[in-house]
Homo-oligomer: A and B are copies of this chain.
């Protein structure tokens, strides 16, 4: 059991906090610039809340689950204990990384047991603590270096954030034509499920893969927004390579 300070009260802090107390760790304090968010999450975690980092308590370590752009400034203010951040991209000279490879929405339940956690720290004591904590909440814990973590996060942006944007573009096209997004759901689920057993490259389908040039031209013409035309052309070229 570890005593942990949770910095941040957004999607990641929310899910990690709940999993950590489920695994019998103790969240001493939730610190967030937003008093409402800090208070709300602290209540769920049976923790104190605070809006100012200068009032941070003592604990085994602090978990920094804030936007990437704020991590350096937050970490520079923590002097009294080790810390780790939850970002896939940020590399710090001190502290560690405790990176859950998953997409988090506050109101969507997620079983962290199956979420890969990627852990690293320059200090071996901290690394061991982080590994133990990760293993207490997930069955898939990886010790990877910073370069690997950054590539993994980049790959996750393509595989998750960008594929979701493709769904959103499709949804927008259907809305304009009075078609129900429901129609596309079996296709989206089937496409994702295929990668359980097959390499995505090996199961690529569609006009680009088949080199149906007339269809490709027609589809570019059907798109009204210039940005969407450009995305269509670039990805089509990428598939054909």
State the oligomeric state as a number of copies. Answer: 2
Q: Are B200 and A168 in contact (CB under 8 A)?
A: yes
A114→B183 CA distance, assembly (Å):
10
What is the CB-to-nearest-CB distance from A196 to chain B, in angstroms, rounded to a whole number?
6
Considering the complex, which residues of chain A in the window 186-241 have a beta carbon less than 8 Å from any beta carbon of chain B? 186-201, 203-210, 212-215, 218-219, 222-223, 227-228, 230-232, 234-235, 237-239, 241
Among the listed B68, B171, B178, B218, which residue makes an inter-chain contact with A215, where contact means beta carbons less than 8 Å apart?
B68
Closest to A144 in B: B179
The stretch of A19-27, A34-42, A155-163 that contacts the partner chain: A155-163
A87→B219 CA distance, assembly (Å):
13
The stretch of A47-55, A77-85, A100-108, A129-137 that contacts the partner chain: A100-108
A197→B89 CA distance, assembly (Å):
29
Q: Does A76 contact B (CB under 8 A)?
A: no
Residue positions of A touching B, CB distance < 8 A: 11, 67-69, 87, 89-90, 101-105, 108, 110, 114-116, 140, 142, 144, 147-148, 150-174, 176-179, 181, 183-201, 203-210, 212-215, 218-219, 222-223, 227-228, 230-232, 234-235, 237-239, 241
